[in-house]
Every structure is written in structure tokens, then in C-alpha cells.
Structure 1
Amino acid sequence: MTHHRITSFEAGRIIALLGVIAIHSQLFMTVPLINGEPWLGLLINQLSRFAVPLFFILAGYFIAPKLSALPAGTMKQYSLPLLKVWLVWSAIYFLVPFNLQLAWEAGYLAERSGYWQYLLSQPLNTLFEGSLVHLWYIPGLICGLLIMAICCHVKKQSLIMPVAIALYLFGLTAGSYEPLTGIESPLFTRNGPFMSMLMLTIGFMTKQKGWQISVGKATALAIAGMGLHLAEAVYLTSYDIPFNMHDFLIGTPFWAAGLFFILMSHPQFGQSLVKFNISKQVLGIYLIHLLIIIYLMRLLPLLGLTGYANDILRFVLTCIISYGLVALIGKTPLRSVLLR
């Protein structure tokens, strides 16, 4: 599905992708240590949590007109290519060994069997996630859009926001706040529609209702949301919940929405980023980057790289190699199989 390119939104997607890579590459999670804890890395981890929510908001914004007018047809047109690449990459990550040294020394099955047992031990999450953790984004996106499409189909668009808020609140109470509420979910609530639908709905409603706020108010909203998110993460450490484990908290939708409205207010922001056409490769880079990180985490220490050099190189090389591989795939017949 194509959409009119807005420079700031394209730049926002690139920045969000860098945030995702920073999280997964565990940037500065070994050094520096402050009182024995990698607080810089932990802070970067949570400061990057705007990324996936922003992806969802942008997706909801651009799909809104077609989803509202032709919900069934739009859902099919949008979701089938995504499901295809999700299945293909799930198969790749299911089959490709992560520890090449172990596979060489002990054999392919010895390397893979433990991981396969792990996936089978949590079948519901694997169903809504895929064979590697970051692939949850695609089922989450499709699940959220499916509920929205049903609401549009039955002419009940007024239900979209209440349903999204209800799902999000359940996701919080059975997720990050589960130690306080005692509410449990058989499905990890980051997966599925629990978190994604509210973010999609923010973008959807912004497009449908023409919501706009001034850049000053958008900035205040983003800062307040980010501050609340971080304050929640600090508070939850008192319940023995690691500071860096949170994907979504109460403040996260406000934070991501504020950033979205800032980008909307500055449509020409990021021209220097967008001119390289990196934004066209964002999904492909997202799909492949974690495998690159897995290999670099084993390779760089073998080359004697530790500390700052390891952390920074892991992040930089992941960005470069992932982009290069996706650009290369785009020039081969494999692009129709591996990329949307």
C-alpha cells in the first residue's frame, strides 16, 4: 500500500528504527557502570521505547482513509503481504543457527534443538510473535488493524477508541503492572492487539478527524509522556521489575503522540535523512537486523573487542550491514519473497 510521502514522517521512521536497533543491540549495556549498574544503557533502552509506538501511529494515520472506506478490501491488501514476510522470516529464524561455533562443533540439531524447545514451550506467544522476538510487530499490527476494520465494517467507528483503551489498560494490568494487580494473561500482552491498537487508533483518529495541536503543546505532551514513562519504570523497580523491561507504560501513548504531532508540525524535517531513501528499507532492516546483532555479539568479542568499542561497533555495524543486505536483496528476485 502506497501513501503520500511526508518528509518528517519518513525521517521519523528512520529515527524510530535507530531506536529499535539501539534497544536490541544493547547499546552501553556493559559500560559505563554506575554503582555496578549500566545506567546509561538502561536509560537509552527506555528512551528508545517511543520507536515502535511511533511506527504504529504512522501506520494508523496512513491507512485510515482506505480502512474507513473499504475495510475488508483494505485489510486484505495490507495484511497479506505482511503475513507473507512474517511467515518467511519466521521460517528463516526457525532454521538458521544463531551459534555458528556450536553448530560447527556439535552439529546443526544440537544448536537448534534447545531453541525449538523454547518456542514450543510457549506456543501461544510463538503464534502471536513468530520465531524471533522482534517479529511480534507484524502480528501486533495486523491484530490491531483487524479489530479496527471490523468496527469500520459494522459502521461502529465510535467503538474504536474505547476498545483500544480497554485493551491497552488490560495490557498494562496484566503486563508491566501485573505484580501490583495480580492479573495474569496467557499471552504476553505486548503481543497481539493489546498495545498496538491504541497507537494505531491515535494515527487513525488524527487522520479521520483532522486533529492538530501546536508544536509547543505537542512538545509538552511528548516531554510529559516521556517523563511519566520513565517515572513509572523507576517506580516499578521497587517491585523487582527491571528498569529496562518495559515496552509500553501509561505515559508511552502520550509520548509517542506528542512526537507524532511534532513531526506533523514540521513536514520538511529530516530532508537530509530522507534523500538517501533509507525509509523505503525500514521494514526490511527491521526484519533482518536482529540476526546481525546475534552474530556480532559473538564475533566482536572473538576479535578482542570489548567495552565501548564492542557496544558502539555493534550498533554501527548492525545499521550498516542491515541496510547493505536489504539493498542487495532488493536487487535480486528474492525481494518479492523476503521484502514486502
Structure 2
Amino acid sequence: MAPPPSRNASLDALRVLSLLGIVTLHVAGGGFADNRPLGFLVDELSRFAVPVFFLLSAYFWKDADLARPLRLAGKVARRVLPAFAAILAITIALRLIEHGRPGFSPSPEGVLLLLWTGGPAFHLWFLPALVLGSLIVGTLLKQFGLGWTIGVAIALYLTGTIIGAYSKPLFGHGFPFWMDRNGLFFAPIFLVAGVTLRRYGDRLGNLPIATIAAAVVTFAALHVAEGYFVVGRYALGHDYSIATLGYALSVAILFTRLELRSQIWSTVGQATFGAYLIHLLVLDVLASDLKLGANSLLLIALTFATSLAIGLGWQWVVGALRPRRPAHAVE
């Protein structure tokens, strides 16, 4: 099957929605002091976002790269790790200036944990997880094929769910978040889902959109219920659990079936990576420096809009600086 086009307005719209979800769950992570029950609810309902970003990353992988896992992981690393290093350095520098400490332990173990989790820039854990997950999934696909890769990814995902969301009900205590939220347990299932959806998504063509939407609502409700079970009335939602898989997949499938055409979605969609990188810094300025944290919904809207505006500005700068090919250049 031919690879999907480089820009897909419907999937770009999904990127924008997922960015909004990530901003929302990070605002909710502050407790939603003005409405804690609402904070719990919107946090739980936003947990499709990070899985969807993994899925979309793999959706556009090329078969030639999948045949060479090291090349695949290398391409992913070259795309995301410079940004990881830049935002991490900025965050640490700001921590030193504002608080006199870097936000991580300057020991060998502390540095390794910093590179694994992002440390004070904790949202950056997604980027090293994407690289590691790409290597794992690419290797499994090459050596064992799609069926075995899906099976191994599900086993890893369930292991992460036990270590993470279900650790307190099962063991009476929790484990550090970096043990389950990473490229080993979290990333593979959503990456292989992206590959599978690209290869076989056309088989869903006869499935009514209303049915897919009903699946989204059902899995969202299950995710909220599951979150209440594992974290109770605590203000924070949980990263992922059993229902999260169906929730994220049904949201992604829904958007693959939509037929959005507006170029606006693709323009804004391209800015979501930059907006994702910068949004936590924007949130900190708005909440701490400008003292806007008392109204959580306003904080979500301003953080989302400001981060996207910065992302769009960066896209414009990059486009303006990119060398133009002569009109007569051979394609």
C-alpha cells in the first residue's frame, strides 16, 4: 500500500486536539485549585493525547525505514533529540536563575534519570521514549513480523499498567513514574498501532463514523471510571491503564475517517511540535509570573493559544531561513 501523504488535514487536526489535551492535563496537574473534581475529570479525558502523538509518529514511517530499525531510530533521534537537548538546557538554566538549583541531582544516576525523564522539563520524556520505542518496534517488526510485535507490545503495556496505574491496588504502594512511563512499556503498543493503522486502516472504511464515535465515548467513560478506581479523589489523573489503549485508538481511528480539507489544519498542525516543546515554559510564566493560575480554564486557553502562536512563529522563521531551490531544479 502506498504511504499516506505527507500532510493530512484530519490528522493535523488530531495533532492540534492532542496538544490541547497535553496542555489541559498539565494544568490539571497543578490541582485545578478552583475546581478539583473538574480537574480530575479533564485530566482523565485528556489522557488520549500522548498515546496519539506516539501513534501519529509511527503512522508516517516508511517501509524502507522499518526494514532497517537502526536507521529508523536514528532518523527519529535526529529529529527530536536536538529539540530535547535545547529545551532541557533552557529549563535547567531558568531553574538555576530562579531557584539556584538545576532541578536534578548532578550525579551519574541523576544525569541518566534526567536523560530518561526530562527532569525539570518532565514533559520531554516523550522524546527519548519515542527513540527507544522506535528501535524496539522496528527491531521486532523486522525479526518477528507484525503479529508477534503486537503481542509483545501488549505484554509490555500490561506490565507497565501493573507497575503504574495498578501498583497501589495490587501492591499497596506506588512506584516512581519513570518505571512505567517510558519507551519500553508505554511507547511500543501505540507505535505499532500507528504502523497497523497505516497498513490496514482502509479496512475500517465501511465502519460508520457514529459507531467509532460511540467507541470513543465508551472508552472515555471506562478510562474515567478506571482512573477513579486507581487514584480515587486525588486531583491528578493517571497516565495510562487498560482502557487508555481503546480510548486512544478509537480517537485516532475517528480522525482517520474524517475528511477535513482546510489548509489551516495543516498549517497549525505543523506548529504543534514546537508548541509542545515550549508549552510548559509558557504555562509557568502565565501561572507563576503573571499569577493567572486561579482560573484553570483560562490558563488552559491562554497556554494553548500562546504556545501555538510561538510554534507558528517558529515555523515561519524556519521557512524563511530555509534555502529556496531554483525553479529549474530537477526533482
Give the TM-score normalised by the residue count of structure 1.
Answer: 0.81
> Corresponding residue for 2:181?
190
Residue 130 to residue 172, structure 1, CA distance change in 2 (3 Å): same
Residue 151 of structure 1: how far off its partner (Å): 1.8
Distance in 2 (alpha carbons) for counterparts of 1:201 and 1:322:
29
Could you tell me which of 146, 151, 155 is aligned with 1:162? 151
Identity of aligned residues (%): 26
Partner of 1:94: 92
Identify which of 21, 28, 34 aligns with 1:31: 34
RMSD: 3.1
Which shows bigger deviation, 314-323 or 85-94? Answer: 314-323
SS class of match (2:185): helix
Partner of residue 171 from structure 1, selected from 152, 160, 163: 160
Larger mean CA deviation between 219-228 and 198-207 belongs to 219-228
Q: What's the CA shift for 1:118?
A: 8.8
Corresponding residue number in structure 2 for 1:147: 136
> Matched residues in 1 for 2:319 and 2:125: separation?
23
Question: Any residues of structure 2 matched to 1:50-65 within 5 Å, and which?
Answer: 50-63=48-61, 65=63
Superposition deviation, residue 127 in structure 1: 2.6
Give how far 1:278 is off: 1.0
1:323 to 308, 318, 331: 308
The match for 1:263 is 255
- Number of aligned positions between the proteins: 312
- State the Cα distance separating 1:294 from its structure 2 match: 1.0
* Post-superposition offset of 1:142: 1.4
Name the counterpart of 1:229. Answer: 223
Which position in structure 2 is the counterpart of 1:298? 288
Q: Give the corresponding residue for 1:254.
A: 246
Q: Give the corresponding residue for 2:15.
A: 13
Measure how far apart 1:206 and its partner are: 1.8
- Look up the match of 1:112: 100
Q: Give the aligned partner of residue 326 of structure 2.
A: none
| 2:103 counterpart SS class | helix
Q: CA offsets, 1:20-77, max 9 Å, x none? A: 1112123881224xxxxx2112211111111111111112221153443443333322
C-alpha distance in 1 between matches for 2:304 and 2:210: 32
CA distance, structure 1, for counterparts of residue 106 and residue 48 of structure 2:
29
Provide, for residues 267-305 of structure 1, a one-character-per-residue CA deviation record: whole Å limited to 9, x for no partner: 227x37516x1111111100001011112111233xxx5
Equivalent residues of 1:141, 1:193 under 8 A apart: no
> How many Å apart are 1:157 and its aligned residue?
3.5
Gaps of 5+ in 1: 33-37, 104-110
Contact map agreement 2:268 2:312 (CA 8 A) in 1: no
> 1:129 — aligned with what?
117
Q: Which runs of 5+ in 2 are unaligned?
A: 322-331
Q: 1:206 maps to what in 2?
A: 197
